[in-house]
Chain A
């Protein structure tokens, strides 16, 4: 208990945890006998796109273990502080742990220092945490996050991508991660409009998730019978807001109605 009082290191919670209770870090030191990647749940597709004065992030609700659907209503988009959120793809357990630790990391800094980290500071911090997981990633426990934040200095939304070695790579306009990301990115490429309203960008992101679910078996579409909808978050100068199920249901219903007559969804103009 005593080094709670005597620790005078940095304001990083992760560093403190590494010294105080290293067992609690998501990073595991032991090597696995065999890769287990296929046997444990994987989280799949996350999309994010900037909108006028902010950013939108959306994630489907499916987790898969190999060919099995291990969970229908998993949540993969997490609020990390008032102006940022993180979406995770890859090994669900490690990803959730990273997201939880990352939230405490940002808050810890804010409380210790009396100010929030800069947006770049937040993005860099996440890169270090992902890099710490590299050894596990090589054995199949891959975690790749997507980070989105409202930057008060620019009054705009920003998106940062990562790979298993860390990052960050700032993305202009939009980015996707996870197994369905290829299809979602193709969809976003055609549907994304710069400086669109948050409402329109939410529709764009939901269309991209629908297209991903259409072509990727590991991405879940909207589950109308069970009323399981994608998680959608909007961040702007008012802060982080997760849309309620009712709101998302309304957006999804609009998309489903249109797709009844046009199953491939909206088309982009040819010229």
Chain B
């Protein structure tokens, strides 16, 4: 049987698309989503104050994503529309993380099979419950697969390595400061330096908050949480002389992560 010119088998097409998406996602840095004593913690190394990787979807639902910014941003906006329209049509308690994860799974799956290019994104939908047992963390991949994660989820470039390090430190019901410490430990390569607070995007879904549970931790608030687990200051040394030859820092070291995964 002769093959038409340019024929590629469906298996080949799917493999190529998956390969393409994986490469795109692997370029971005990882994001950690994990349970802590009062809810769910999101941590992402992200120097941008405007381009968020973590966001509020609804009262109890948060969203985290890695990959191509414009793609996960349009998923985020669709999620907000979905949540708001359902909450308005029925009741605020009728908007669930499961429903949202299903919506995303359908959209991602459809694009993966029908479009030339699949979305280069990996996302987490997390919902905080009344008690820790009812917290839910869903991880969705570019092909529309949904994983119901227990306790923690890691997405993005070095997901396996970061996940491995997170497992070392993770335990159920960690207080916020310890949980953040564990997340930063996981996100830092062994021997590497932890990202500065200004290079971090941190948010929580706190089950004890009223109305909307989502809260971004920034500035002094984030610093206070970080200080709780900071190693005790080294014994007082003579005041370090300011190094005259190094000027004031003019920008973060290394490549700036724009959130676009580029």
Contact = CB atoms under 8 A, between A and B. Distances in A.
B103 A1 contact: yes
B88 A114 contact: no
A114 B84 CA distance: 15
B84 A107 contact: yes
A13 B78 contact: no
Nearest to A103: B88
A226 interface: no
A112 B87 CA distance: 16
A7 interface: yes
Contacts of A79: 211
Given A111-B55, A114-B50, A16 B81 contact: yes
A5 B80 contact: no
A5 B78 contact: yes
A104 B88 contact: yes
B88 A100 contact: yes
A111 B57 contact: yes
Interface residues of A, number: 19
Contacts of B78: 4-5
A114 B106 CA distance: 26
A7 B81 contact: yes
Nearest to A100: B88
A4 B88 contact: no
B87 A104 contact: yes
Contacts of A20: 81, 85
A5 B80 CA distance: 10
A24 interface: yes
B82 interface: yes
Interface string A98-121: 001100100110011010000000
Contacts of A1: 103, 106
Q: Is the interface of A mostly helix, strand, loop or mixed?
A: helix
Given A4-B82, A5-B107, A13-B84, A112 B77 contact: yes
Interface residues of B, number: 22
Interface string B66-99: 0000000011011011101101110000000000
Contacts of B52: 114
B3 to A, nearest CB: 35
Contacts of B50: 114
B85 A21 contact: yes
Contacts of A111: 55-57, 80, 84
Interface in B45-59: 50, 52, 55-57
A68 interface: no
A196 interface: no
A243 interface: no
A138 interface: no
A108 B106 CA distance: 23
A17 interface: yes
A17 B77 contact: no
- The CB with the most chain A CB atoms within 10 A, among B56, B75, B88, B106, is that of B88
A107 B55 CA distance: 13
Given A21-B89, A24-B88, A24-B89, A108 B80 contact: yes
A2 to B, nearest CB: 9
Contacts of B106: 1
Nearest to B56: A111
B88 A17 contact: yes
B189 to A, nearest CB: 30
A108 B87 CA distance: 11
> Shortest 8 CB-CB distances between A and B: which pairs?
A5-B78, A4-B78, A111-B80, A4-B81, A104-B88, A108-B84, A104-B84, A4-B82
10 contacts: A1-B103, A7-B81, A16-B81, A24-B85, A104-B88, A107-B212, A111-B55, A111-B56, A111-B84, A114-B50
